[in-house]
Amino acid sequence: MQLGLTGKTALICASTSGLGRATARALAEEGVNVVVTGRSAERAKEVAGELPGAVGVGCDLVADGGAERLLTAAREAVGDLDILVLNGPGPAPGPARATDTAGVAQAIATLVTPQEILVRGTLPAMVDKGWGRILSISSTSVQAPLPNLSLSNLGRAALAGYLKTLAAEVAAQGVTVNSLLPGRIATPRARQIDEAAAQRTGRPLDQIEAASKATIPAGRYGEPDEFGAAAAFLCSTQAAYITGTALRCDGGMVPTL
């Protein structure tokens, strides 16, 4: 399938590793001029150097003015953006009964505020051109909240609600807005989670991984490139009639329709 993305421009948040990096790679291979971002400018430039037509920009997205600085740098590098991929780490784990006002504010500041600034800054050019793609790399927690991740559940659900509302408002202008929900993907982050569980429970790492895989009908963790391919499709010209959706990439793990 020809995705029709050659010559498009894209900003991929948190794309120096994991799912963001896989998405940047998939889009770059389709001819997109990608802006790779991360807190380390050196690392962002290193990853960008591995991709055709990519540039690296260092920026702390959650710092004061970070989202605005990132938008300015991205435009200077590739011009107006055709594709915006939202991504980033969530807040610390913890139960819902232990949340407080400061924690809730931090969840919003991490998972909602900078994303809204990026969307607001890129949307006008997309609407003017009659073509744009906004994609959030989110979590299956927006459909099935995860235990002990109350602040992450809160923030990601809030962003998903905002994006769903936005999708209906801009669909007629040729702009799609979707979320891609990863399950267990074989990234360094997944490895860290398994290692932490092994240390916490005193069980061998291979037992932790086996137990996790047993909850996935596919019987394995997903590959980052599989996730990247799904992201590239949702950003493609071919996906023009798909908007306001939350697509799971989870091997069948989440037991909901």
Alpha carbons 133 and 116: distance in angstroms, whole number:
15
| pLDDT band at 156; cut points 50, 70, 90 | very high
Q: For position 140, what pLDDT does the model report?
A: 94
Alpha carbons 24 and 169: distance in angstroms, whole number:
27
Say which amino acid occupies 173: Q
Q: For position 89, what pLDDT does the model report?
A: 86
**Angle, CA 57 vertex, CA 179 and CA 120 arms, to 5°:** 45
Q: Give the residue-averaged pLDDT of 83-91.
A: 93
Structure pTM? 0.96
| pLDDT band at 127; cut points 50, 70, 90 | very high
Q: Give the residue-averaged pLDDT of 27-34.
A: 98
Q: Give the residue-averaged pLDDT of 69-95.
A: 94
Q: For position 85, what pLDDT does the model report?
A: 98
Alpha carbons 157 and 101: distance in angstroms, whole number:
17
| pLDDT band at 200; cut points 50, 70, 90 | confident
Task: Check residue 251 and give left, alpha or beta (phi > 0: left; psi -120 to 50: alpha).
Answer: left
Alpha carbons 129 and 132: distance in angstroms, whole number:
8
Q: Give the residue-averaged pLDDT of 91-118.
A: 94
